[in-house]
Amino acid sequence: MLDTDFFRRWMAAMAAAVDREADRLTELDSAIGDADHGSNLQRGFTAVTAALAKDAPATPGAVLTLAGRQLISTVGGASGPLYGTLLRRTGKALGESAEVTSGQLAEAFSAGVAAVGQLGGARAGDKTMLDALLPAADALGSSFRAARDAAGAGARATVPLQARKGRASYLGARSIGHEDPGAASSALLVAALVEADEPPGAGEGTGTAGAGGTTDGSGS
């Protein structure tokens, strides 16, 4: 089972990843956008961290809806409402239970990803965050690691695509040859699930991600 603490660790791991990778995300956005994706997400997840510390939400669903609200109110640009919708809708789908299964998370996350598609009007292959999120949602039913790998592969696969949504689409064919920044950051969000499941020093994961068990113990 995944408890409220797991979801706090997920958001904390994402905040740390965004801090670590902010320059790379901004570099990607400077190639096909306006060079603010790293700073946008840094501002957003800094606000998420502060809000979670202040409000201490009591359920997994409440952690994600609070995080989503923070992203919507603090991140300017396209990615704020889209990420905010992803987390809010996922949180809403988790309901009010104190613990959820990884299967319930996979289902809720799929609902969140679908809401991103609805809000932004993008589909697979449009060179957006959905190109990482859609394959991740499909793989999440197997394991967190499978979802992480699918999101990473999906983000890398945006390189040869031409953007059909968002700011990068204004570039037309010149958007080809660059990884989409939102897909890259979405891969970080999904990778953060693995980190939340296998906190450093814990020795082993909770095993709730299923499929093959988590025997690696990453560095401990």
Nearer to Mg ion, 33 or 117 (CB): 33
Only one of the segments 61-69, 124-132, 139-147, 204-212 lies at the binding site for ligand ADP (rule: CB under 6 A); that segment is 124-132
Q: Give 175's DSSP letter.
A: G
From Mg ion, ligand ADP, none, interface partner of 128 (C-beta below 5 to 8 A by class): ligand ADP
Regarding 33 and contact with Mg ion (CB under 5 A), the answer is yes
Total number of residues that touch ligand ADP (CB under 6 A): 23
Regarding 38 and contact with ligand ADP (CB under 6 A), the answer is no
Regarding 34 and contact with Mg ion (CB under 5 A), the answer is yes
37 and 219 in contact (C-beta within 8 Å)? no
Regarding 165 and contact with ligand ADP (CB under 6 A), the answer is yes
Only one of the segments 73-81, 100-108, 144-152, 206-214 lies at the binding site for ligand ADP (rule: CB under 6 A); that segment is 73-81
Contacts 24+ apart (CB under 8 A), 39-45: 40/75, 40/76, 40/77, 40/79, 40/80, 41/75, 41/79, 41/83, 41/185, 42/18, 43/74, 43/75, 44/70, 44/71, 44/74, 44/75, 44/80, 44/83, 45/11, 45/14, 45/15, 45/18, 45/19, 45/71
Nearest Cα neighbor of 127 from 81, 184, 84 is: 184
Instruction: Give the binding site for ligand ADP (CB under 6 A).
Output: 29, 33-34, 36-37, 40, 77-79, 82, 120-122, 128-130, 165-167, 180-183
Instruction: Give the binding site for Mg ion (CB under 5 A).
Output: 29, 33-34, 36-37
